[in-house]
Each structure stands twice: as structure tokens, then as C-alpha cells.
């Protein structure tokens, strides 16, 4: 699915983080994304292509 990603949005990915959460807050957008787990706060850098492939849902920031 193609979404319009922006900083502050919440993205639900196909695979869960080991803490059990599958929702991530977008902290940085570009060729790589910086995501923060909504369950435990862990931050990761992940390639845009990987995020686009595994994204299931996008919640826009309020």
C-alpha cells in the first residue's frame, strides 16, 4: 500500500516488535525512516522500502 508518510504519524507494521506492539511512531522520513515503538519506546532506523512493504495501516497525527 502507498501511504503519505509524515513525522508524527503512527504506522502499523505486519510483524510485531518483541514487546508485543505492532504500532510505530514516525520520527524521521527520508530514504530511511526512524521509528519509535509505541509499546516500549525502542527506536530503530529502517529503509523506506521495508516500511512500505510491511505497512498495514497509517493513523495520521491529530
* pLDDT at res. 61: 80
pLDDT at residue 12 greater than cutoff 80 = yes
Task: Read off the pTM.
Answer: 0.89
- Specify whether the CB–CB gap between 42 and 51 falls below 8 A: no
Is residue 25 situated within a structural domain? yes
Residue 29's domain comprises 10-59
Domain contains 5? no
Question: Total domain count for the chain?
Answer: 1
- 43 CB contacts (<8 Å, ≥6 apart)? 27, 34, 35, 36, 37
Percentage of the chain lying above the pLDDT 90 cut = 90
37-55 residue pLDDT tens: 999 999 999 999 999 999 9
For residue 16, give the CATH number of its domain.
2.30.30
Amino acid at each position: 500500500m502507498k501511504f503519505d508518510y509524515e513525522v508524527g504519524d503512527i504506522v502499523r507494521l505486519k510483524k510485531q516488535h518483541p514487546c508485543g506492539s505492532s504500532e510505530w511512531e514516525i520520527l524521521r522520513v527520508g530514504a530511511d525512516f526512524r521509528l519509535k515503538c509505541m509499546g516500549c519506546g525502542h527506536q530503530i532506523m529502517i529503509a523506506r522500502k521495508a516500511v512500505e512493504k510491511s505497512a498495514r495501516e497509517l493513523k495520521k497525527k491529530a
